[in-house]
Chain A
Amino acid sequence: MTPTTTAPAQVPARTRRRGGAAARVRRRLSGTPAGLAAIVIAVVWTVPTAGLLVSSFRPAEQIRTTGWWTFFSSPDVTLDNYRDVLFGSSSDGQLATHFVNSFVITLPSTVFVLVIAALAAYALSWIDFRGRDWIFLGIFALQIVPLQMSLVPLLSFFSQGVSVGDVQILPAWELNGAMAFTNVWVAHTIYGLPLGIFLLHNFISQLPGTLFEAARVDGAGHGTIFLRIVLPLITPALVSLGIFQFLWVWNDLLVALIFTGGDESTAPLTVRLAELAGTRGEAWHRLTAGAFVSMVVPLLVFFLLQRYFVRGLLAGSVKG
């Protein structure tokens, strides 16, 4: 996303309409070609997912031989696919491990971005220093850089460190085992920061200035103001950004593919699923169940926090 307006997170004011007019529109829509078109779109958008969901509960043999729509004439439900793909041997997918990996990658990447972006956004909004506007502009501009531009050098930084000529300035991060996740955290944090700082800056800069003056008169430093005043006030914006960053990291393939090096022990669900799709494209009982394992968390987030999700979207692209 490349949002550009500075409108803070806010839902558009719903237009208040009288019942009469609304009812008239409704009458006009139901049963007309327009209503029919809406239903067709809704069906086309829902059926592919529904088909995969239904399939994931059918016995493997039936997925391979008949279409999922036959399920409705002879329903036959099993959890075997999920059991196999989650807890089976590693050649079956063993997605339980990758499910844990996805969490281990996503949670820190989200927390880091929220905290670092909030600190920077506060400094750029309420601490007076020279060059402030230029720094903000620079960070804003970084939003447009495609990830692909920074992958090669960043990866070589992790694997070889930094050296000028023959002098090693920073050593390579030789992180093994569980610590290997650190690379992915850093990469995701970096990529999340420009949008994060931008969105939070929009929000923080619109807090009333008198609040900060009063606190400073009372002798509070910037640290205290940030912790006691700013953080509680920007919670809605933090939630919005948090959902975005969480979904973005959870659903990411490219960053994980490169910074986990395709390693079994650190690869998240997306990487493993893409691999299963590539090598066993026809093992549909695993793929259908596996796809849903990877969707459970985003779908939960979506249904529980949909309002914040939409709010964050609108903050980025439309004036309320």
Chain B
Amino acid sequence: MEYSFLNDLPKVVWMLIGIASFLAVIGLMLVVIDVPRTRRDRWQAVLFLAPALILLVGGVVYPVLRTTMLSFFDRSGTEFVGLTNYLWMFRRPEILLVLRNTLLWVIFAPALATAVGLLYAVLIDRSRFESIAKSLVFLPMAISLVGASIIWRFVFAYRPADQEQYGLFNQIVVWLGGEPQLWLLDQPLNTFLLILVLIWVQAGFAMVVMSAAIKAIPSEIVEAARIDGAGPWQLFSRITLPSVWPTLLVVLVTITVQTLKVFDIVRTMTGGNYGTSVIANEMYSQAFQQGQVGQGSALAVFLFVLVVPLVILQIRRTRKARELA
């Protein structure tokens, strides 16, 4: 069947109806709020906040409580099974592998993405091509993780040794005189190759933020150090690094939280096969593909537990920074 836009027209119409009626309701609400000329702030606040609060309570607060509860029930959510789902998580070898992989992601992705971002930000700082250089590395941030995964699958693509390679990685190996490899099937190397994709995406974020922090260092300090004869390395380790350290930690934590939730890359690159699954992906498989709602919920709760301390750490740091400011 050839494509015809007419088939898709109802969707666009429904979208326009949706946006228009939403704006009409909100507009009407704003007008109605002003009709009684009273100063009952409290009721006006309720109206202003109602859409957000209803959505958040119904869509996040209640579901979080419900998921936590479901994690103590069996797959159909009717029979209480206590900690069975959690014990399952720490006993099954394939789930332990998932936990190990998640650990590898959390150790390597944030640290390397931040390191590359910082290094690059320092190297191109005040160079003539700074804005172009920044765009090049920042660009992957705009691409979906699905798109990024397809880009890298192509880089890792494999052909048997007697044929010409079209994957860049294997071609380089062949040029260097090696044998082409099935990179994505090779455990545990494949997990590191997936991590590489996230580093590729997140380094741009780290670079932009670190670059802003570097530019905020007063130039007098840099000048003074240079007059005192500090070389590039001393400048970096004694001035730049200490000055941007708080920002660096924020970036690290932010990327770590992102990493824990990473789903798209694993899904698109390997589908979680060949020993590459992570918690976020396993949760999806269990709850939505295998119908194991209890086990899926337990994985989600575990993920939440991992994220919480990181975020508390970050909140406390920020509060301290704000008190100092």
Q: Please give, as numbers and ranges, the residues of chain A lying within 8 Å of B111 by CB-CB distance.
A: none
Could you tell me if A17 and B219 are in contact, using CB atoms closer than 8 angstroms?
yes
Distance of A107 Cα from B200 Cα, bound (Å)? 28
Q: A144-B311, A197-B52 are in contact. Are A310 and B33 (CB under 8 A)?
A: no
Pairwise interchain contact A253-B145, C-beta atoms closer than 8 A: yes
* A317 x B254 contact (CB < 8 A): yes
Q: How far is the CB of A42 from chain B (nearest CB, A)?
A: 5
Tell me whether A90 is interfacial, beta carbon within 8 Å. yes
Question: Interface code A238-259, partner B: CB below 8 Å = 1, 0 otherwise?
Answer: 0000000001001111100110
Closest residue to A117 on the B side, CB-wise? Answer: B52
Please determine whether A48 and B154 come into contact, CB atoms closer than 8 angstroms: yes
Do the beta carbons of B263 and A185 come within 8 Å of each other?
no
Does A270 contact B34, Cβ atoms closer than 8 Å? no
**CB-CB under 8 A for A41 and B11, given A108-B22, A190-B55, A281-B153:** no
List the A side residues contacting B204 at CB < 8 Å.
Answer: 45
- State in angstroms the CA–CA spacing of A143 and B219 once bound together: 36
Among B42, B250, B283, contact of A4 (Cβ-Cβ < 8 Å): B250
Contact of B63 among A152, A224, A277, A281 (CB under 8 A): A152
Known pairs A181-B15, A274-B268, A318-B212; A48 contacts B58 (CB<8 A): no
Main secondary structure on chain B at its contact with chain A? helix
Contact partners of B45 in chain A: CB under 8 A: 123, 127, 129, 132
Indicate if A75 sits at the interface (CB-CB under 8 A). Answer: no
* Contact A186 B55, beta carbon cutoff 8 Å: yes
Near B by CB (< 8 A), chain A positions 273-301 give: 273-274, 277-278, 281, 284, 287-288, 290-291, 294-295, 298-299, 301
The answer to whether B92 has its CB under 8 Å from any CB of chain A is no
Q: Which of B81-89, B99-107, B125-133 contacts A (4 or more CB under 8 A)?
A: B125-133
**Which residue of the partner chain A has the closest CB to B244?**
A318
- Residues on the B chain within 8 Å of A157, using CB: 58, 63
Q: Which residues of B contact A220 (CB under 8 A)?
A: 34
Complex: how many Å from CA A319 to CA B52?
A: 28
Instruction: Report whether A26 and B126 are in contact in the complex, using a CB–CB cutoff of 8 Å.
Output: yes
Question: 1/0 per residue A144-173: CB within 8 Å of B?
Answer: 111111111110010000000000000000
| Complex interface bits, A66-103 against B, C-beta within 8 A gives 1, otherwise 0 | 11110000000000000000111110001011001101
For residue B176, CB closer than 8 A to chain A, the reply is: no
Q: Which residues of A contact B308 (CB under 8 A)?
A: 144
Which residue in chain B gives the minimum CB-CB distance to A250? B144
- The answer to whether A148 touches B56 (Cβ under 8 A) is no
Contact A152 B55 (CB under 8 A): no
- B80 contacts A by Cβ under 8 Å: no
B72 proximal to A (CB < 8 A): no
Known: A48-B154, A302-B142. A100 touches B12 (CB 8 A): yes
Chain A's closest residue to B135 (CB) is: A306
Interface assignment of B224: CB less than 8 Å from any CB of chain A: no
User: From residue 287 to 324 of chain B, which have CB atoms closer than 8 A to chain A?
Assistant: 287-288, 293, 296-297, 299-301, 303-304, 307-308, 311, 314-315, 317-318, 321-322
Q: Which of B29, B127, B151, B215 contacts A49 (CB 8 A)?
A: B151
The residue of chain A having its C-beta at the shortest distance from the C-beta of B220 within the complex is A15
A contact residues around B116 at 8 Å (CB)? 41
A45 touching B203 in the complex, CB below 8 Å, given contacts A4-B318, A120-B49, A295-B143: yes
Across the interface, A26 reaches (CB within 8 A) one of B12, B127, B317, namely B127
Bound CA span A123–B50, Å: 10
Q: Given contact pairs A150-B67, A221-B33, enumerate 8 new A-B contacts (beta carbons under 8 Å).
A: A2-B253, A38-B124, A48-B200, A142-B56, A151-B287, A186-B55, A314-B208, A318-B209
Give the complex CA separation of A21 and B97 in angstroms. 53
A residues 173-214 near B (Cβ < 8 Å) are: 177-179, 181-182, 185-187, 189-191, 193-194, 197
Q: Provide a sorted-by-A list of 27 A–B residue pairs whose CB atoms are within 8 angstroms.
A: A5-B321, A11-B212, A17-B126, A35-B127, A48-B152, A67-B165, A96-B8, A104-B12, A111-B23, A119-B52, A123-B45, A124-B49, A139-B52, A146-B300, A149-B303, A181-B11, A182-B18, A187-B59, A197-B52, A222-B33, A253-B145, A277-B150, A299-B139, A302-B139, A313-B209, A317-B247, A320-B216
